[in-house]
Structures are given as structure tokens and as C-alpha cells.
A and B are shown apart, each in its own frame.
Chain A
Amino acid sequence: MNLISEPWPWYIGGPAIAAVLFLLLFSEKQFGMSSNLRTLCAMAGAGKKTAFFNFNWRQYRWNLIVAIGAAVGGFIAANYMSDGSVGDIHHDVVVQLDNLGVQGAGKDYMPETFFSPDAFSNPKTLALLALGGFLVGFGTRYAGGCTSGHAISGLSNLQLQSLIAIIGLFIGGLFMNHFLLPYLL
């Protein structure tokens, strides 16, 4: 196994995420990636009209720096740490997605249908991406956290509301995956 060029198994990926949590906590910060959306809204001046965004966003500049680092990390990993191979996707999933018109499972990192530049000229894809993003932005702030803030940080801190958020997340996720996606794709 080559950790530079090949995909990581879960037992490398999981501890690497725990390392991020460790480094942030020991830097006196929290691991939570959705709060930077709120910081960006506040930075853009949303605090003038809405109390929720009326806080000193300069105090939270660090989470924007983490986000910029994340994008740079994504660039490095995609361009210099990949031999183009991806981990095996379960055969049933490959067949199922093929039938729904989504190709590339087990071959590409992301489905071309949604994430190739063609998406910009496809109104339906644009609408789905916009809808999904809106739900992610609205839902994470309503829930007070996302996968990093609730599932990793919150559960690690034994927070009941994080468990509730993850139950909610699975209710929503399963409903979308099993009942809505077949009609939307």
C-alpha cells in the first residue's frame, strides 16, 4: 500500500481526522467546518440587519484560514498525491447508479454528471447543486454543526444533542438517498 498515491483505507483516514481534531483542540480551537459559512456571512455585512450575524467575525478568521488550507490540501492531494485509482465501490451500488444514469462509480473520484465543467451548462444539475447546497447551509447552522462539529467533535465530547443531530442527519440522508434521488437524478 502506497499512502502517497493510493486511496487510504478507513483505518488511516479515521485516525488522520482524529489528528486534525487533536491539532485544533491543542491550538485552542474547535473542529467544526460549517461555522465558517456563518463567519463569511458576517464578513459580508449580514450582521447589519440580522442579529445572528452580528458578532466580531475577526475573532473567527482562523476558521477561514483552515478552510483555505483545506482547499490547498485538496489541490495537493488531487494533483500530486493521486495515481488516479479509487477504492472499490460495492458492485450493487455501481449497477444501481448505472441504472440511474450516474456513471463512474469505482472508476472516477466524482460523478461527471454533477461535477464536470458541463454541469455549468446543465440547468437541472445546477438546480440540484444549488438545492443541495442550500439545504447543507441551512441545516448545519440550524443543527449547530455538521459532520465535523457534531459527529466528530460533539460525539467525542459526549454531547447528547450531537447524537440527536446525527440521528436527524441519517433520517434526512436515507430519505434523500432511497426515496428522492431516484426521481431527482
Chain B
Amino acid sequence: MKRVLLYFAIGILFGITMIKSEAASWFRIYEMFQFKSFHMYGIIGAAVALGVIITQSIKRFKLRSFFGEEIQIPSKTKLVKAPLFGGVIFGLGWALTGACPGPIYVLIGAGYFPLLIVLASALLGTYCYGVLKPRLPH
């Protein structure tokens, strides 16, 4: 139960961050792809710079979690086609709706209910990928 509350609290922090930093704003995503503002690049760049320090410190110093276990950070698979093709398809959708999967939930909570359509179709898209997976190049 404690853990459930912890994940819930992390989710709340994430949701507040997405709204307040405007990373969930359609206008900001449009502006990013027009290269007209540093804002989104600053957010992602700062998050990654700190993320590298956090992640590499965990690996280097074998840091332990809040629950006392050694933290395991799994590697992604060694694929080229899947991240490239998948990335292109995701990019088309991101630039159209302005929402990556996290902000979909955040924006629904914020009261932008047309995002429910985006969530439903994202679930359908995920389902279709699962069905077609054996036939797609990876």
C-alpha cells in the first residue's frame, strides 16, 4: 500500500510538471518542430543532463533503492529498424495531436476531454502493433 501511494504521488508530480512546464501544450510542441523556441529543447536537455548523472551514478556506485535493493536498470533491445520506423510513426502522431502518452492522461485530468479520443485510438494503435508485430521489420 505504501508503494501504491508512492507511485500515485510520483504520478501527481509528473502531471503537475507536464502542465506547469507546458510540455503538454500543443502550441509548445508545434513551436518546437518549427525550431522557434528553446523552451522544449531546454526542458528535455536539462532532464537528460541530470538524468545521465542520476542513471550513471546508480550504475557506477551500485546505489540502493528506497526499499534497500540494488537498483537494476535494464538495457533496451539492440534493434535499429524498430526504433527508427516506430519513432517516425510516433513523431507523426506527436506533431499532429501534440500529445505523447504521458500528457494524454495529464490533459484528460486537466479537463481537455477530446484527449479521450486520442487515448482510445492510442490503445487501438498499440493493439494493432501487437497483432502485426510478427510481420513487421525489427
Binding site for B on A (CB under 8 A): 3, 7-30, 33-34, 36-38, 40-41, 46, 50, 52-53, 62, 65-79, 81-82, 86-87, 89-90, 92-93, 96-97, 104-106, 109-111, 114-117, 119-120, 125-126, 128-148, 150-162, 164-178, 180-181, 184
Which of A40, A110, A136 sits near B90, CB closer than 8 Å?
Answer: A136
Which of A38, A130, A167 sits near B84, CB closer than 8 Å?
Answer: A167
Contact A165 B86 (CB under 8 A): yes
Tell me which residues across on chain B come within 8 A of A93, comparing CB atoms.
27, 30-31, 34, 36-37
Binding site for A on B (CB under 8 A): 3-4, 6-28, 30-31, 33-34, 36-52, 54-56, 58, 63, 65-67, 69, 71-80, 82-102, 104-115, 117-131, 133, 136
Contact A69 B95 (CB under 8 A): no
Contact B105 A74 (CB under 8 A): yes
Tell me which residues across on chain A come within 8 A of B126, comparing CB atoms.
34, 37-38, 40-41, 137-138, 140-141
Q: How many Å lie between the Cα of A79 and that of B112 in the bound state?
A: 12
What's the dominant secondary structure at chain B's contact region?
helix
Contact B86 A140 (CB under 8 A): yes
Contact B13 A73 (CB under 8 A): yes
> What residue of chain B has the Cβ atom nearest to residue A151's Cβ?
B44
Tell me which residues across on chain B come within 8 A of A104, comparing CB atoms.
27
Tell me which residues across on chain A come within 8 A of B82, comparing CB atoms.
142-144, 161
Q: How many Å lie between the Cα of A110 and that of B105 in the bound state?
A: 15
Q: How many Å lie between the Cα of A133 and that of B97 in the bound state?
A: 7
Which of A13, A73, A168 sits near B86, CB closer than 8 Å?
Answer: A168
> What residue of chain A has the Cβ atom nearest to residue B131's Cβ?
A50
Contact A15 B127 (CB under 8 A): no
Q: Contacts A72-B15, A132-B97, A165-B86 hold; do A155 and B124 have CB atoms under 8 A apart?
A: no
Contact B44 A164 (CB under 8 A): no
Which of A33, A128, A138 sits near B89, CB closer than 8 Å?
Answer: A138
17 additional contacts (CB under 8 A) given A50-B131, A77-B18, A167-B87:
A7-B22, A20-B13, A24-B10, A30-B74, A73-B13, A87-B39, A92-B34, A93-B36, A137-B93, A138-B125, A139-B89, A141-B129, A141-B130, A153-B55, A161-B76, A164-B84, A168-B86
